[in-house]
Structure 1
Amino acid sequence: MSASVIDVLATERRLGTHNYEPIGVVLSRGEGVWVWDTEGNRYLDCLSAYSAVSQGHCHPKILAAMVEQAHRLTLTSRAFHNDQLAPFYEEIAALTGSHKVLPMNSGAEAVESAIKSVRKWGYQVKGVPDGQAEIVVCANNFHGRTLGIVGFSTDPETRKHFGPFAPGFKIIPFGDAAALAAAITPNTVAFLVEPIQGEVGVIIPPAGYFAKVRELCTTNNVMLVLDEIQTGLGRTGKLLAEQHEGIEADVTLLGKALSGGFYPVSAVLSNNEVLGTLRPGQHGSTFGGNPLACAVARAAMRVLVEEGMIENAARQGARFLEGLKDIRANTIREVRGRGLMLAVELHPEAGRARRYCEVLQAKGILAKDTHEHTIRIAPPLVITSDQVDWALEHFATTLTQDFS
């Protein structure tokens, strides 16, 4: 590392809160699937800012929309109408088949908004006694880091010394429809779940699981809330991950790629019953639905469809997954993935996944470890076959490397 890079890292350690453990690279520029550090080294981005940069770094059409809108109007608050919000509503509803839209900023805000909304629906529509609404969630979930959300996490590190937590949540195993059936009571208002558990290492449920979940929720008048903040907008090779099992959620949460990585934008999408219970003064956000966010999101959705990124994610994801599975290495315990949401889980005796990520960095690939022994791989949806093949060569040499 150069002296300037060392100085940057030292300043971050001295002044920044130590709530992240980033790979030791200082990035300064990005284009498409590539990023460059301050020393001019180029890397293939295999994280996409946790899937937020699905459309590729600095996509020119999204950039142009952002710059044009920034020259016109950036923020009005929701005290007044703006000329970008209604078109955003129309376009996201047409794309996803939704009936109501609640615009927010971060993914965690979308989750919190959904929790409030389904509880209100439970009291006003389903008739649950006040203060007794229950929401079922899954073990090893990751829905954000707000106080409300970490209260129903099963990760000790996210909970320790942050309590007391809000009640009203039941935790069941992921991928177990029988456990959901047993957890539902007359007071259950929602089942909040990720189609694929990303943060814990791209855990995919058994085939048929979500079809059974949909049946259980419909039968028991329970809102199925799918957190598609990571899986949505093409990441798994379909617009929404729910489409892999041919179901529709009652409430869908989007974020991350909704802005192509340019701006914090999220949305709660639902039928009229759930979001229709909210009235003026009961929920809001100063920045939620601002004209700059809406213009950026409109462009981000448009290029996703017009440039065939969803179909490309399916093709290149299958190629990447097959290539990873073909790597013969004693270090690999399992390879998982759907579309361009992939993971390589290592045997514990192979050591921490982070050291493999550091070797990949030296080869020009940026990936990130999660839960000690898993490497997450999620490149932008614009990746090409040649780039996938180039990456696979380096994954193969890295995963077969002897660290003893």
Structure 2
Amino acid sequence: MESYSKTVSAFWVLISFMVLTISSNAAMAETLDEKAWNSVWDRLSKFLPANTSSEEVHALTIVVPATWASRDRDGLVELQRIAGAIPENTFNVDPSRMSLSLHQAYSRIISDVALPELPKAQEDEFLKAQNEYNKAVDEYIARVNSFRQLWKERQEELKAQGEPVDTLARNQFKSDLGGYFNSVQAKLQVATVKVQKYAPIGSHWIDALKLLRAELANASSDMTGVYSYEGGFATLKSISADCSNENEEGWDVWSFNQTTSSQTVRSSNWNGGGGWSGGFVNVNLGGGGGNGSNVVMTSGDNIKIKFCNLTYVSLRPGPWFDPSFLQAIDAGVLTMKPGAQLGGKEKIFGPDGSIPRLVKGAIVARRMVFEAKLSTTYLSEMRKNSGGSGGVRIGPWSIGGGGGSSEFKREYNTADGYYGRSTSTDVPVVIAIVTESTK
């Protein structure tokens, strides 16, 4: 297997693995590497909300900050990117690898539903309502753009006066423009009601349209284009306090040494069936790396992965998303226009559909740490590579490497001989994503 440090070429490249259990008394001898991999799977599988065969765990090669914890625009855009992914089997949320995100696909499907023929009078009313609706949307977007321009001008004024451009200034600006969106939102609401009234289709389509357009009408002025997703905000806030290095409170410690064992023997359906993906440890020693057997060579050798406030947070689309609408299409209650695109698929949900799985949640930690007590040679290589371009891989996670994108920026040594690196972020970090198959 190639080392991950040479195959990870983008920030969002992830290693995906499915928790596929086989009989724990299977007649096979596990190597130390396999015991370590299975030990990780044991621990991660405990965070599956329902622990069913439809759920899958995808460990991130490079852990990333849960920036949406701050609830600012940039963070919510990142939440939209992750929670709105339509995952492949080998899960990758890099937009260059996906044709559409969930909200984009959903909006397109709504517009591609075939509308039956109407009596002439009703058709005229419906077309008129559509035109009014489109005009109302254009006016709303124009008002948003105007709001942004006014805020930009206010910022310049504040800077020229030596005043801070902060949350207080932003709130004051919003207060000064109180009711700025009332008229355009009212027009949009009236137009939406008319479309619903004259639409030549049943409640599934009407409800889906209503919920999607409510998302637009109710969006705050500086969040246009950011669809709402549930991001476990309360949970992230509850783990915002960092753990102390002086005691064990809040820490979840996973140790890997010569006595490592696992509760369950699993088949290695790694990355869509690619095998065990090499040794559990890779330190790029001499360009070749190492595995658990030749890195952890004595009873005193030990590698730890530590997580502060390790927990699961739910990630799901906001109230604009109505799965029953998509199920109605799959059931034939609604039909699509000729030539409508479903990603070349005949169904939307299911293993062969255009949306075969959805993001369900994330496994996060306030801080992630790795510590190692090894031979002088291996410890020296870990120290060098974990802070350089080569990187070190422990199980599915990479420390260092990745073109400088690693979050393990804090380096230290302990009194009892461990070398360690820790993430250093203002928010929790995401270590894995949980997805669920659709049906």
* TM-score of Structure 1 vs Structure 2, range by shorter chain: under 0.3
- Greater relative CO (CA pairs within 8 A, separation 6+): 2
Taking structure 2 as the reference length, what is the TM-score of the superposition? 0.25
Taking structure 1 as the reference length, what is the TM-score of the superposition? 0.26
